[in-house]
Chains A and B, each alone.
Chain A
Amino acid sequence: MRRFWPLLVLALGGLFWWGLQRPDPNALPSVLVGKPAPTFERPLLQPYRAEWGDRLELGEQVGSRPILINFWASWCLPCRDEAPLLEAYWRRYRDRLLILGVNVQDTEAKALEFIREYGLSFPSVFDPKGTLGVDYGTYGVPETFVIDAEGKVLQRHAGPVNEAVLRDMLRKAGLEGL
């Protein structure tokens, strides 16, 4: 026992360390993973109309680069956590990927205030009834999906993303060296 306890402690530590690194055990694998992403067409929020047009169709965006779809709402505090991160990634890598926000179950005024507050420059569509959430089978907000260049869903993440999760998602989409 005198000799072996360090091994036991190390084994235990290793096991838990591994447990911490693995993806969320509570996450149900999305039924969408590996399937074409449900396509949609929704009005864009006002700040993005100049650049992207009045409405955005997902199908038109698929093809050249991976797409990160992020469901958010102004009343959701974790969304406030991830908004600056998403914005930073968008500014750095906007030529290599598209970050697309979906504002759900919100009022337009509050959504615009949120966008102003965090200076969000990636486009967001407006879905006050949250019907896209049903199409994508979301549990709530925030939730993030990554779609590859062929329009297939590669991964879903429920809850706020942090930098590690975001990198991991983008690596899956074939973006190396971020």
Chain B
Amino acid sequence: MTPGLLGGVALLATLVLSLVGLVLAGLSWWAQDRRYLEAARRVAPVAFLSALVSFGALEWALLTHDFSVRYVALHHSVKDPLWVTLVTPWAALEGSILLWGTLQAMYTWLVSRRVQVQGSATTGRTLLLDPWRAPVALGVLFATQVFFFAVMVFVAHPFDAVPNPPADGRGTNPLLQNHWMMAVHPVLMYLGFVGLSVPFAYAVAAMVARRYQSWIFETRWWTLVAWGFLTAAIFAGKWWSYEILGWGGYWAWDPVENASIIPWLLATAFLHTTQVQERRGMFKPWNFAYITLAFAATVFGTFLTRSGVVQSVHAFGDGPVGSLFLAFLLGVLALGLGLLSKVSGEVRDAGEVRWRTREGALLAGSLLFGTMAFVVVIGTVWPLVVEALSGAKVSIGAPFFNQVSAPLGVAALLLMGVGPVLPWRNTGGEIRRNLVVLGVALAAGTAAGLLLGLTLGVALAVGLFVYNLAAVALMVGQGVRERSRALGVSRGRAFLELASSSRRRFGSHVVHVGFALAALTIAFSQTYRFEESKTLRLGESWRTAGVEMTLRNVGVEDQGNRQSVYARVEVRGVDRRGLWADGTYTTRLNFYPQMGNQGLHAPDLKYTLYNDYYLILQAFDTERGQWATLRLVVTPLVLWLWVAGAVMALGTLYILWPSPAPQRQQAPGGAPA
């Protein structure tokens, strides 16, 4: 038994099992026979196991350096360190699809555990999937699984053989080897992508079975999990881009980046409108549309990055999977939107939305996020549209995205503060005081920013941050006061009790604060970025941006799988801008054998509470090691962007954390989430 054989067999078995599951689910829906449903339910864990075996086989092939497997020959080398070898399955197309498919099989299995085959009432502990919807939901998930495994078996086979195996392979893409974050980012991304398939499957089932309400509760957990992973993945990607790509930025609106943000934006929109349906039974069509688009966007992203249909600086091979992903994307859109237009007469909203209410703000917020997603899609595909219509080759620069997303972002931040303060249904006079407080916070923050000499945009970002903090403080403060008065407990105790009893509310406050913080740091870091390059000789000093840099040494280290050229630079802060910059920086250019003379930057950077000092080795004296060209990038507050990402992820985790107390009664002051 070789890893290639085992993997190939397991892959085929998974495809067959998924097909069997799909057929059984279809039969049980067709014949309304629960025995088929029971069988389909039992196929899911077997398919998952089989997928796991094929994934394990790929790891096995990598760990044993089995270069007769093409994937291993192309993306692995005996010189790769162990951790790189372990993450190599998702370093290229075939392995990524295998990871994606395996995660999909896992989620299908998890959903299958919720399927209720007996027609009795729900047991109360968990929300079960009733036998009317279960065949459809399972069918959609199995179909997705069939898609991934069919792509692998027929087009992008991870266990393709090399007839005459080389003694060593080319090694993992050095860009990925250069930072451990790349080991994590794709997994988070796929967990998020796959997570959205579950609410989508439930939504389709809801439309088929014409039970339009309950799926929202049942998939709340899934949606949040998916959203949390997507958020974490995006921040991980930004971090990687900042620390590795060596240009001192974290976001460039490249199609690959856009592909990751579109599902996030749509999932965010979906998350907000579900609140209204859960609470008031409204916005049903919006929810069906948003989840369809969000799930389609996960496929769209892969299509964009893997088909070579739009230009990207990230060098992905344009594999043969493009047209298949396109077909799947269109299939998802046709299924979701087709069903929606069929049932749209029935799911029309009963009441009318008043704008100055919680539901109005939630709808407006979701529309903003939907619009942002639309903008990103348009900006990404516009070059293609222009080329199709006029034949001219064009590109869309980052300024477009910045120009359009800035006002939308400001609007979203405004809504984020005021929305949760507004009551449901109807706005009375009692919240006027709160609105005044918020307005004052916004104005005071902006004015303070302007007085400090910030640009108008950044001052506004400061104002919006203060305003959002004020909104959260207002809501928490009110709840705590009411509770401590009603139950006669101390305010501290009331706060802790509230925080643990209404997790959803508190978690969402935390996420909102994280979002506001992220916006603030983006405004600062985009506006006050400084960069300059200079060639220094050994011992020479360079004074700029409040720091003095002295080049001490240029040398090279052999690190096994790469040669690392380094420049050692002594940095000293000379004025306020260079505060905390002091230190010895070792900035590197790493040369990997498979990349020839193209070095990869490994910048040295020092995060501080305010500025980041980011030093890049641009070029060096290859003959005598006497000089080096350095680039200094000084950016404020980037550290806080990572903090914001962590806050958002932790806030999500807080909501998801299983509640210790089974009873979920409304305590005084704890407004229903």
Residues on A lying within 8 angstroms of B by beta carbon are 2, 5-6, 9, 12-13, 15-20, 22, 24-26, 75, 77, 80, 117, 162
Contact = CB atoms under 8 A, between A and B. Distances in A.
A20 B329 CA distance: 14
Given A5-B341, A16-B384, A19-B310, 15 more contacts: A6-B334, A9-B334, A12-B330, A13-B330, A15-B381, A15-B388, A17-B323, A24-B308, A25-B309, A25-B311, A25-B387, A25-B393, A26-B308, A77-B162, A117-B164
B333 interface: yes
Contacts of B329: 13
A9 B337 contact: yes
Nearest to B385: A15
Contacts of B337: 5-6, 9
Which 9 residue pairs across A and B have the least CB separation, nearest first? A19-B309, A2-B341, A13-B330, A9-B333, A5-B337, A19-B384, A20-B322, A16-B326, A117-B164
A24 B341 CA distance: 37
B330 A26 contact: no
B162 to A, nearest CB: 7
Contact of B162 (A16, A19, A80): A80
A15 B389 CA distance: 10
Contacts of B303: 16
A13 to B, nearest CB: 5
Interface residues on chain B, size class:
20 to 34
Interface of B is mostly: helix
Interface string B315-348: 0001010110010011001100110010010000
Contacts of A18: 388
Contacts of A9: 330, 333-334, 337
B326 A20 contact: yes
Nearest to A26: B311
Contact of A2 (B307, B318, B344): B344
Contacts of B163: 117
B358 to A, nearest CB: 25
B23 interface: no
Nearest to B377: A12
B170 interface: yes
B70 interface: yes
A26 B307 CA distance: 12
Interface string B446-478: 000000000000000000000000000000000
23 contacts: A5-B337, A6-B338, A9-B330, A9-B334, A9-B337, A13-B329, A13-B330, A15-B384, A15-B385, A15-B388, A19-B310, A19-B388, A20-B307, A20-B322, A20-B326, A22-B387, A25-B310, A25-B393, A77-B70, A77-B162, A80-B162, A117-B163, A117-B164
A16 to B, nearest CB: 5
Contacts of A162: 320
B466 to A, nearest CB: 39
A25 B308 contact: yes
B298 to A, nearest CB: 16
B73 interface: yes
B119 to A, nearest CB: 35
> Which secondary structure characterizes the binding site on chain A?
helix
B309 A20 contact: yes
B207 to A, nearest CB: 14
Contact of B73 (A15, A16, A19, A77): A77
A20 B384 CA distance: 10
A5 B342 CA distance: 12
Contacts of B333: 9
A176 to B, nearest CB: 26
Given A2-B341, A5-B337, A117-B163, A16 B70 contact: no
Interface in B638-673: none
A162 B322 CA distance: 15
A17 B309 CA distance: 9
Contacts of A12: 330
B440 interface: no
Contacts of A17: 323, 326
B93 to A, nearest CB: 14
A77 B162 CA distance: 9
Nearest to A1: B341
B318 A24 contact: yes
B323 A20 contact: yes
Contacts of A75: 166
Interface in B74-124: 74
Interface string B288-324: 0000000000000001000111110000001010110
A18 B166 CA distance: 38
Nearest to A77: B74
Interface in B392-424: 393
B170 A77 contact: yes
Contacts of B326: 13, 16-17, 20
Contacts of B74: 77
B527 to A, nearest CB: 33
A80 B341 CA distance: 50
A75 B67 CA distance: 13
Contacts of A19: 307, 309-310, 384, 388
A67 B329 CA distance: 41
Contacts of B70: 77
Nearest to A9: B333
A15 to B, nearest CB: 6
A7 to B, nearest CB: 11
Contacts of B384: 15-16, 19
Contacts of A16: 303, 307, 309, 326, 384
B74 to A, nearest CB: 6
A111 to B, nearest CB: 14
A162 B310 CA distance: 20
A6 B344 CA distance: 15
Contacts of A22: 387
Nearest to B164: A117
A19 B382 CA distance: 12
A56 to B, nearest CB: 27
Nearest to B334: A9
